[in-house]
Amino acid sequence: MQHWDFINYLVEQYGYQKYLEIGVSGGECLNQIKCRVVHGVDPNPNAKGQFKITSDEFFEMLEPNYTYDIVFIDGLHTEEQVDKDVQNALKILNPNGTIILHDCNPPTEWHQRSYEEFIQQPGQWNGTCWRSIVKLRQRSDLQVETIDADWGCAIVRRGQQDPIKIVSPFTYQDLERDRQYMLGLISVEQFLEKYNIKKYYGLSRATFNQDFSNTLEQESEKRLGEFTDMLLYNENFTMVKFHDGEILNMLTNNESETNCDGSNYYRVLGDDLIKAYIYFLHKKDAYINSWPISFEILEKMQSDFKDVFDNSKFLYSNMLVQKLPLKQQQITFFKAIKNSNRHKLYISNKEMIQALCPLLNISNAIIIPEINCFLQKERIVQLVLNQVQPNMIVLVSAGMCAKVLIAELSKLKPNVIYLDIGSTFDGLVKQSRDYNSVPGYKEALLETYR
């Protein structure tokens, strides 16, 4: 496998959208990348990248808050420049993003000769990139390993690792003595297994967790009050659901099965849901309304991403579910949305849009199919991107697909509140759940929020 194969594998597994390449040259790698956004930086005027400037100049001129999902560093192969490129890349890397570096495992001392020697002695040159990797593996706030293929492809991700202990100054002779330890070498097979989302298939065991349930329910009013304050102080956050439909879709291979709303459990949707929840686990301001059940699939994610797995990210599953009698904290939360001066956008089917938009003072809406809207995911994302503004409040009622839409949108438009409200206001137009089928439910909603 070549370095672009590793890059495209991660792009596919994690649904990456935006790619940056430092050191493009003839575009051999750049032309292979399967991302929606592909940017290349190279100071050579004859290079194929869009930006004919140095990487230092590029990072300096990059728009504030512009980020990438994956960055490939293959520029000037000196320790000093690689150090700078990595630090700059970390600043513009999305949560759950990845940096890949090429030429990190020189097979001989000649291959890691200095830049000055390379000018005098042209030929294959790995440079001193490997020294940057050794330093990165001494940090506790990153996860760094090197695929033992194609001259050494290092993977850098935010996370935790046990820092290696290397006495400076270290030499190439030190590397020769213990490459495995210093570079964190892994085989191609180990790479494919570690970053393969299919490892989550079939993890169906589930156990009710009473203590977890009690804790989440007891804290629900307090937590919802915190989100109300965030609304009032114009802070941004993301809130999505993690319920039975999402779980079943991630596990099933029978696409003829449907959830309670009639949407099919498409395998590709299940894969996108896995990617979305991995993203939300890494996203600092993302929160998950979860059933109080210990799901094996979630436990596996917890093990794989223990560095970012924080129970404070999990909220009571029914936090936004409005049952009679309506709870004051829920009323306060939704009235804060209604009375907010921020622009609001609602993504749902036509009937729900007609009912909810006037009730919560929502001026913008995008109509989507009530069933199987996932089949139009790309079109919906593009429609939303054309309307979303910074600091907007985006409410989504799109079933299982809501999580996928929110994950993709929040990568591209991060400074927004995204709320997966699901069936919270279904009672305005239909009886979809037990709680909104009781007499007087619709009238109570209308009287409360008018």
Residue 308 binned pLDDT confidence (cut-offs 50, 70, 90)? low
Residues 31, 42: one domain?
yes
Q: How large is the average pLDDT for residues 86-111?
A: 95
Local structure of residue 307 (DSSP, 8 states): T
CA distances from 225 to 219, 228, 233, 240, 343 (A): 10, 5, 12, 17, 21
Q: How large is the average pLDDT for residues 89-106?
A: 94
pLDDT in tens, 2-34: 999 999 999 988 889 999 999 999 999 999 999
Residues 247, 383: one domain?
yes
For the domain that residue 56 is a member of, what is the CATH number?
3.40.50.150
Residues 182, 277: one domain?
no
What's the pLDDT score for residue 221? 87
pLDDT in tens, 113-146: 999 999 998 989 999 999 999 999 999 889 999 9
Name the region of 108 (left: φ>0; alpha: ψ -120 to 50; beta: rest).
Answer: beta
What's the pLDDT score for residue 427? 94
What's the pLDDT score for residue 276? 92
The last residue of one of the domains, among 195, 217, 247, is 195
Place of tokens 């993709």: 408
What's the pLDDT score for residue 18? 95
Q: How large is the average pLDDT for residues 40-48?
A: 94
Local structure of residue 205 (DSSP, 8 states): -
> Per mean pLDDT, which range of 87-96, 196-205, 416-425, 436-445 is the poorest?
196-205
| Phi, psi torsion values for 225, nearest 5 degrees | -65, -35
Residues 422, 353: one domain?
yes
Residues 151, 202: one domain?
no
Of 147, 157, 152, which Cα lies nearest the Cα of 130?
152
The last residue of one of the domains, among 134, 168, 195, is 195
Tokens of 288: 């998950």
The last residue of one of the domains, among 195, 225, 257, is 195
Place of tokens 């994302």: 381
Q: Is the dihedral of CA 224, 228, 229, 231 positive or negative?
A: positive
What DSSP assignment string belongs to 226-262? HHHHHHHTT---EEEEE-HHHHHHHH---TT-B-TTS
Which ranges of 126-243 does DSSP label H, i.e. alpha helix? 129-136, 172-177, 179, 188-194, 210-232
Residues 240, 100: one domain?
no
Q: Mean pLDDT in the chain? A: 92
At CB < 8 A and 24+ separation, what contacts does 398-401 make?
Answer: 398/347, 398/348, 398/368, 398/373, 399/245, 399/259, 399/261, 399/263, 399/373, 400/245, 400/246, 400/249, 400/259, 400/263, 400/269, 400/273, 400/374, 401/263, 401/269, 401/373, 401/374, 401/377
Local structure of residue 26 (DSSP, 8 states): T
Residues 185, 209: one domain?
no
Q: How large is the average pLDDT for residues 94-114?
A: 94
Residues 129, 84: one domain?
yes
Are 160 and 140 a contacting pair, CB within 8 Å?
A: yes
What DSSP assignment string belongs to 37-50? EEEEE-S-TTSSSS
Tokens of 226: 């915190």
Residues 265, 314: one domain?
yes
pLDDT in tens, 367-376: 999 999 999 9
Residues 155, 269: one domain?
no
Residue 305 binned pLDDT confidence (cut-offs 50, 70, 90)? confident
Residues 219, 115: one domain?
no
Q: pLDDT higher for 243 or 150?
A: 150
pLDDT in tens, 50-84: 999 999 999 999 988 899 999 999 999 999 999 99
Number of folded domains that form the chain: 2
**Bridge partners of residue 72, in order along the sequence:** 21, 100
What's the pLDDT score for residue 240? 96
Residues 171, 219: one domain?
no
Considering the entire predicted model, what is its pTM? 0.80
Buried b (16+ CB within 10 A) or exposed e, 430-448: eeebebbeeeebbebbeee
Integer Cα distance of 212 and 276 in angstroms: 23
Which ranges of 137-209 does DSSP label H, i.e. alpha helix? 172-177, 179, 188-194
Its domain, for residue 85, covers: 3-195
Integer Cα distance of 390 and 400 in angstroms: 25
